[in-house]
Amino acid sequence: METINIHKAKTQLSRLVEQAAKGESFVIAKAGKPMVKVMALNAPEPSQMKRFGFLAGQIKVPDDFNTMGADEIQKLFEGGI
């Protein structure tokens, strides 16, 4: 996410508003300190964004996942290759 200083934001407000309306949010900073985040009104709230389970049904974890490669790993730790 881009951070814009307040002076640049004042001089380029129209362009920055268009950018935010297209979904490209940005932060306005004053003296290097972030002050506000500008984003489109229809952007999802962070609480609405689903993170866990977004690959549900798309991948399969093998039944032997916890023991996969155990012999090879043990050989590596024992100095054998």
Mind listing the pLDDT tens digit for each residue in 57-76? 888 888 999 998 899 988 88
Q: Has residue 21 got a pLDDT over 80?
A: yes
| Stated pTM of the model | 0.51
36: tokens are: 């506000």
Higher pLDDT, 55 or 4: 4
In the chain, where do the E strands start and end? Answer: 2-5, 26-30, 33-38
63 inside domain: no
- Does residue 50 fall inside a structural domain? no
pLDDT tens profile 26-36? 999 999 899 99
What Rg, from alpha-carbon coordinates, does the chain have? 24
Number of domains in the chain: 1
Predicted pLDDT at 47: 63
Whether the CA torsion 62, 63, 66, 67 is positive or negative: it is negative
The reported pLDDT for the residue numbered 13 is: 92
Local structure of 54: helix, strand or coil: coil
Grouping H, G, I as helix, E, B as strand and the rest as coil, residue 20 is helix
Instruction: Please name the residue that has the structure tokens 């977004």.
Output: 54
Task: Return the minimum-mean-pLDDT range out of 1-5, 14-18, 29-33, 38-42.
Answer: 38-42
Residue 53 has pLDDT above 80, yes or no: no
Please tell me the distance from the alpha carbon of residue 4 to that of residue 33, in angstroms, as a whole number: 10
Assigned domain for 9 exists: yes
2 domain-assigned: yes
- Residue 6 structural domain: 1-40
Is 29 part of any domain?
yes
